[in-house]
Amino acid sequence: MDRTRGIVDRLVAWSPVLLLGALAAFTYWLDAQVQAPAPRRDGSARHDPDLFLQDFRAITFDAHGKPRETLSAARAEHFPDDESAELASPTLSLSEPERPTMTITADRGRIDGDRAHGAFTGHVVVLRDADPTPAKDGQPSGPVTLRTESLSVATKEQRVRTDRPVTIEEPRGIIRGQGLEFDNKAKTVRIGSHVSGTFQPQQTGK
């Protein structure tokens, strides 16, 4: 009986220590569950290129075998973490039947992994070819050139957007403004603000 009582007394004496130890272990386990996983050290999470190409050129064809999208660059770097590509001196051409071809050039560019969106910076020039279909007044729609310093593009929708100053040149004259949304498929242009420009009067037949 005395031996049993001694064991019980020792357990009672050690119970605060055991309780604190159990609490510390539980706290450590709980903290491990809510912490973000440790970063991988194999380099896969870093935004580092895994390959590069010189004088890069890629063409996407439509169902009829005609070029729908052409992308070229003096240099292209591919990034495995998000499958994006960064481009030096890029040229992007977007074509569709019965619509004018739109070509974008710039000093630098970036294309997302799905190639549905891109961004271009530095001396950005957008050239829309003459419209193959006549306008409502019967006059052909000549080429349109847009110049800015930064531009985003939705390639499938053929829409471009910028919040920077823009200059638009066409056969009728020049328009300047701040910010722009241009839809090549819908053939619409919306300039944000500070619009100014000069236009030549239309020549009408007698």
Kindly report, residue by residue over 42-100, the tens digit of the pLDDT.
555 677 888 888 998 988 888 888 888 999 999 999 988 888 999 999 999 998 877 88
Range of the domain at 166: 51-196
Buried b (16+ CB within 10 A) or exposed e, 41-50: eeeeeeeeee
Rounded to whole angstroms, the Cα distance separating 95 from 100 reads 7
Partner residues linked to 19 by β-bridges: none
Q: Is residue 169, in this structure, part of any structural domain at all?
A: yes
Number of structural domains found in the chain:
1
Rounded to whole angstroms, the Cα distance separating 182 from 48 reads 33
Rounded to whole angstroms, the Cα distance separating 8 from 104 reads 84
Taking alpha carbons only, the member of 85, 94, 88, 80 closest to residue 45 is 80
Q: Please tell me the predicted confidence (pLDDT) of residue 187.
A: 82
Residue 182 is which amino acid?
A: F
Q: Please tell me the predicted confidence (pLDDT) of residue 206.
A: 45
Count of CB atoms within 10 A of residue 134's CB? 10
Q: What is the CATH number of the domain that holds 151?
A: 2.60.450.10
Q: Please tell me the predicted confidence (pLDDT) of residue 203.
A: 57
Q: Is residue 125, in this structure, part of any structural domain at all?
A: yes
Task: Report pLDDT digits (tens) over 26-36.
Answer: 666 666 666 65
Q: Is residue 78, in this structure, part of any structural domain at all?
A: yes
C-alpha distances in Å from residue 206, one per residue of 134, 136, 168, 202, 203: 19, 18, 30, 13, 10
Q: Residue 138: pLDDT above 60?
A: no
Q: Is residue 42, in this structure, part of any structural domain at all?
A: no
- Mean pLDDT across the chain, nearest whole number? 80
Say if CB 156 and CB 116 are below 8 A apart.
yes
Q: Is residue 5, in this structure, part of any structural domain at all?
A: no
Rounded to whole angstroms, the Cα distance separating 158 from 160 reads 7
